[in-house]
């Protein structure tokens, strides 16, 4: 019976969920092409991005519980740090974080039609390999944060294959420290169960976004970087143990 249900669920994904997502991408992409030449402050484009993300979650039957919404930094710049186990993580954060946040995203996404054009046009930061690219990204992240823009980063460097939390790269934490902005830990629970890495069976269901209180970096010296990384990682890992990825 379980195999039959899995097979029916896979057919639902292929015949219903994915075509609806592609259709929404095309429709909203065309609207974006009409809007972006006149939207110099990117407000309309950011609203379209949230609508696109909400459409993806709706088509897949994904519903989100949010815990700790009071910890969102709506009027202050910060760095949001999240675990990463599924493609679902990005649309969930787009919908539930304050509008206008900027992602540090894989450079390959910037070459995808519509999605990549939006990322370039609105100032999201591509993540590339190499020491020189890392230094440039760090400088851009500091400037963004100092300019009042909040950033979102997945410090594991990619989606976890097992759902277990990987080691965190310290670069974005150093950017937060240099800019003197708080780091807000985010934990995504259940996204890997809904849509695992290397999987195309999109299961409808509930996921949870946990938003923990911000960790202040104002006045922190560089020698406190390792403790900052460990504190944020430890908080996310604690949330994952509570429910499981």
**Residue 3 pLDDT class (50, 70, 90 cuts):** low
Q: Is the pLDDT at 12 greater than 90, yes or no?
A: no
Q: How sure is the predictor about 30, in pLDDT bands with cuts at 50, 70 and 90? A: confident
Q: Does domain 62-243 have CATH number 3.40.1130.10?
A: yes
Whole-model pTM: value is 0.87
What are the boundaries of each domain within the chain? Answer: 62-243
Give residue 7's pLDDT. Answer: 60
Predicted confidence at residue 33, as pLDDT, reads 78
Output the pLDDT for position 245. 47
Tell the residue number behind the tokens 């609105």, with chain if given.
122
In this structure, what DSSP letter does residue 15 have? I
Mean pLDDT within 192-218: 87
- For 70, phi and psi rounded to 5 degrees? -65, -15
When pLDDT is averaged across residues 20-46 and rounded to a whole number, the result is: 80
Q: Which of 52-56, 141-145, 199-203, 233-237 has the lowest mean pLDDT?
A: 199-203
pLDDT of res. 244:
52
CB burial of residue 44 (10 Å; 0-12, 13-18, 19+): middle
Over residues 21-36, the mean pLDDT reads 79
DSSP string across 142-188: HHHHHTT--EEE-TTSS--SSSS--PPPSHHHHHHHHHT--EEEEEE
Q: How confident is the model at residue 135 (pLDDT cuts 50, 70, 90)?
A: low
Pairing of strands 205-211, 183-189: antiparallel
Alpha helices in 85-224 (DSSP H): 89-96, 115-122, 131-146, 171-179, 191-194
* CA 210 from centre of chain: 13
Look up residue 76 and give its two tokens: 């202050």
Averaged pLDDT, 42-51? 88
Beta bridge mates, 189: 208
Indicate the pLDDT class of residue 81, thresholds 50, 70 and 90. very high
More confident position, 59 or 118: 59
Q: Which two tokens stand for residue 203?
A: 């299961």
* Structure confidence at residue 117 (pLDDT): 74
CB 207 within 8 A of CB 65: yes
The pLDDT score that the predictor gives to residue 235 is: 96
User: How far is Cα 232 from Cα 160, in angstroms, rounded to an integer?
Assistant: 17
- Name the residue with higher pLDDT: 201 or 62: 62
78 SS3 class = coil
* Candidate from 161-165, 202-206, 228-232 with smallest mean pLDDT: 161-165
């Amino acid at each position: 019976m379980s195999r039959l249900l899995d097979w029916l669920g896979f057919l639902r994904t292929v015949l219903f969920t994915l075509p609806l997502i592609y259709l929404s991408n095309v429709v909203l992409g065309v609207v974006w092409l009409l809007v972006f030449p006149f939207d110099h402050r990117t407000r309309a484009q950011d609203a379209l991005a949230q609508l696109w993300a909400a459409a993806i979650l709706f088509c897949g039957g994904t519903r989100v519980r949010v815990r700790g919404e009071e910890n969102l930094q709506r009027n202050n710049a910060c760095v949001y740090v999240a675990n990463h186990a599924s493609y679902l993580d990005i649309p969930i954060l787009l919908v539930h974080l304050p509008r206008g946040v900027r992602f540090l995203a894989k450079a390959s996404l910037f070459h995808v039609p519509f999605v990549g054009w939006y990322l370039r046009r609105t100032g999201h930061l591509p993540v590339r390999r190499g020491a020189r690219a890392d230094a440039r990204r760090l400088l851009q992240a500091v400037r963004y944060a100092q300019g009042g823009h909040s950033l979102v980063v997945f410090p594991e460097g990619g989606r976890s294959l097992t759902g277990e939390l990987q080691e965190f790269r310290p670069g974005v934490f150093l950017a937060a420290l240099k800019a003197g902005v708080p780091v807000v830990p985010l934990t995504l629970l259940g996204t890997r169960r809904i849509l695992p890495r290397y999987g195309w069976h999109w299961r409808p269901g509930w996921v949870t976004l946990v938003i923990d209180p911000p960790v202040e970096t104002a006045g922190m010296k560089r020698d406190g970087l390792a403790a900052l990384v460990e504190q944020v990682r430890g908080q996310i890992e604690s949330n994952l143990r509570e429910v499981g990825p």
